[in-house]
Each structure stands twice: as C-alpha cells, then as structure tokens.
A and B are shown apart, each in its own frame.
Chain A
Amino acid sequence: MKVLIVDDSKAMRMIVLRTLRQSGLQCDEVREATDGAEALAAVDEFAPTLILSDWNMPNMNGIEFLAALRAKGDSTAFGFVTSESSPEMREQALETGAQFIISKPFNADRLAEVVGAAVP
C-alpha cells in the first residue's frame, strides 16, 4: 500500500506514520505533504493507494483537497485524521467522497479498523 500523509504539522505527520507502522498495515511507500495544494500535486506522480489528510490546513484545506481530487475523477481511498470531527464535518466529508474520518488522538487498532474497511 502507498500512503500519502497530508498535515501541516510535522509532528502530526510523524504520529500518523508511527501509528500506521504500529497498526500492522502493510505500507510499502509513504509520502508526506504539508497542505492540500501540495498533496494534490503529489497525487498524480505518487499514485497513492490511501490518502490520510488533516482537515484544517493553510493554502488548501482537507475538504477542498478532497473536492478537487474527486472533481478530476480520482477515486483514491481517502480518510480524514482531524483534531475535531463534528457530525456536520463527518457528513460533509462523506458526502464529498471520504471513506472515513477519525479524531485525534487515535490508536493503532482504530486506524487499522478504518483503513482495513476503506482499502480492500
């Protein structure tokens, strides 16, 4: 599995990566991006299997990134990893085409559960 981690916080990208490794999911290659615009540019070249993205980011936030991705016909599995996830955000995420949304903090079991369901 190739994973693109999108978060403006270096520490949070590190945590997501650490938890991915602890989860037992097979990650062959991981790439990082610091905002939606950078991630959008990386998708064509990197062709990830899974995108794990923060919601609140500068330049292009997570929901704008997801909308732009789906608008160009890209159906890569997409999950939000956010510090807050209200019912409204959850609804908007799923309507826009996300497979899941999980709140920070999260543990390896929870990540394995949602990613396992999103990426066959």
Chain B
Amino acid sequence: MPLGTPARRMPIPEEVSDFLADLLGASIAAEKVSKSEKLPDAEESVTAIYVEDDGQLGGACVADLPFAASAGAALAMMPKAIVEEALRKGELIESLHENYYEVVNIMTALLAGPSVPHLRLDRLETGIPDEVQQMFAEAPGKRQYAVSIIGYPGGKMALMAASPAKTAVKTVRPAARR
C-alpha cells in the first residue's frame, strides 16, 4: 500500500445492520461495542482475512462463533437448531462454514472505498491468526459490533483494516476459492 493512502473508514452500526439485512433477508440490529473490548476468544472465533491485489494483508473480520453460525444459517434460511448444534460442538459445521464464507466474501464491500486499495477475501480461518491480533492492536481503523439476527443467537464481530502507512505481512497462500 503506498504511503499517503487514507485509512479505511469503518462502517457505522446502522450501515452494518442495513448491509446484513439486505444480504440475509432478515431483521438485523447492530450496536457498537466499546473500543476497549478485547476480541473474542481465539478458540471460539472465525477470522476472514482480506488481502489487497498484491497479496498484502489489508483487513480482517473476526467473529465469534454465534455470529458466524447465525449469519451462515440465516443466509440460507436454515433452522436455529443447526446453529445451536454448532455452538454445542464449538465449531461451524460444513454447510454453515460454506455459507459464512459467502457472507464474509460479500462483506468485503464494507471495507471498500473510492480512495483505498481494493480488497478481496483470501481465506476463512478458525481462530485468530497472529498477524490479525497484531493488526487489531495497531490498526487505526477498527470497530466491534454486537449483532442480533432475528430468530438466531446474537453474536459479535470486529472489522479492522491494516494501517495505510505500514508494510504489512505478505500472505503466501493462494485464495481459497475464486
């Protein structure tokens, strides 16, 4: 990312709720979570890694399991019981993982802007990679949200973008899909 590139603007909760409502076809409420709040526990988190066109880490979406499972289920109008099963098991079952991948792929648009580098979803990982933990600690652009999807358990997710002046970690893995 070239020096002088402006920081990405983090969406306000209303933008997140409107975006998810259109995507999931469900009523959504999103509230901002205090800036001082830590990320969810790594063992119960799912992280979407966004990279710039040159493969440089550009942003991330860290979600707790309830948000990821609920969003994945709501996308395909799957029953709440499937989310509850995933929460009992402590992991996203395959269909929820597949659907949540689509959710975070489309959520790339929440980090887009006219004067910031293009981002694409690189991969979806269980847990929180070290470079994302580091980015969250240093990123000027970050925001956490408490999200309720009607009919499903509520959860939390955080959006963050790499500092524009920082040379971030290069990712070497190919895109998981697309």
Interface residues of A (CB under 8 A from B): 9-12, 14-15, 18-19, 22, 56-57, 83-84, 86, 103-107
Q: Shortest Cβ distance from A53 into chain B, in angstroms?
A: 14
Q: Shortest Cβ distance from B147 into chain A, in angstroms?
A: 15
Are B106 and A105 within 8 A (Cβ)? yes
**Contacts A14-B76, A105-B19; is A83 near B25 (CB within 8 Å)?**
no
A104 to B112, CA, bound (A): 13
Please, which residue of chain B has its CB at the minimum distance from the CB of A87?
B114
Partner of A9, one of B19, B102, B120: B102
Partner of B109, one of A11, A15, A84: A84
Partner of B25, one of A12, A18, A103: A18
Is B144 an interface position by the 8 A CB rule?
Answer: no
Is B75 an interface position by the 8 A CB rule?
Answer: yes
Please, which residue of chain A has its CB at the minimum distance from the CB of B22?
A105
**Contacts A56-B178, A106-B22; is A11 near B106 (CB within 8 Å)?**
no
Please, which residue of chain B has its CB at the minimum distance from the CB of A106?
B22
- Residue numbers in A under 8 Å from B76 (CB-CB): 10-11, 14
A22 to B77, CA, bound (A): 14
Contact-size category for B: 20 to 34
Are B106 and A104 within 8 A (Cβ)? yes
Partner of B22, one of A9, A12, A107: A107
**Contacts A83-B109, A84-B109, A105-B19; is A11 near B102 (CB within 8 Å)?**
yes
A3 to B57, CA, bound (A): 39
- Residue numbers in A under 8 Å from B125 (CB-CB): none
Is B163 an interface position by the 8 A CB rule?
Answer: no
Residues of chain B in range 52-95 having any CB-CB distance to chain A below 8 Å: 75-77
A18 to B118, CA, bound (A): 29
Partner of B75, one of A15, A83, A84, A86: A15
Is B29 an interface position by the 8 A CB rule?
Answer: no
CB-based closest 10 A-B pairs: A105-B23, A105-B22, A56-B178, A11-B99, A104-B106, A83-B106, A11-B76, A107-B22, A11-B102, A11-B75
